[in-house]
Amino acid sequence: MGAEAGDDVVLVNPSEVVEIMKQIPKGKLITIVEICKKNARQHDVPACCSLTAGIFIMTAANAVEEAAKEGKLLDIPYWRTLKTDGFLNPKYPGGQGEHKRLLEQEGNRVIQKGKKFLVKDFQKHLV
């Protein structure tokens, strides 16, 4: 979500990003763009900082994997959060391969575009 010079921009709160991610049901998807739009609306500003949103998305994904190694379950389906334009996140735990596997396990069709992967027709599945 873009902002003009002088516009207010919210620096996202990690717990707000995680709460949005937790609300994405199986069969649905969200991108960082939608997370920023939702967060900006919550704070009645035109935009959010996508850099910090991306950092908190990654932090949540890594926290889920770290907790799993300790036998704990965090209810954050991070794999349903895509990069802009429906691309998979190569920095998620396990890289694009694991991200692809998790998405396909839920019925999404992942296609390759160059060296990157994206969910085919991801827009039809956005919340």
Q: What is the CATH number of the domain that holds 67?
A: 1.10.10.10
Kindly report the length of the chain.
Answer: 127
Residue 1 lies in a domain: no
Asked if residue 96 belongs to a domain, the reply is yes
Which residue type occupies 55? I
- Assigned domain for 22 exists: yes
Does residue 78 lie in a domain region?
A: yes
How many folded domains does the chain comprise? Answer: 1
By the 8 A CB rule, do 16 and 39 touch?
A: yes
Residue 64 lies in a domain: yes
* Inside any domain, residue 4: no
Q: Flag whether 99 is in a domain.
A: yes
Q: Which tens digit of pLDDT belongs to each residue from 1-60?
A: 444 545 677 777 899 999 999 999 999 999 999 999 999 999 898 888 899 999 999 999
User: Which domain, by its residues, includes 53?
Assistant: 9-125
pLDDT computed for residue 82 by the predictor: 98
Q: Tell me how many degrees the CA angle 36-39-40 measures, rounded to the nearest 5.
A: 85
Residue 94 maps to a domain = yes
27: left (phi over 0), alpha (psi -120 to 50) or beta: left
pTM, rounded to two decimals:
0.89
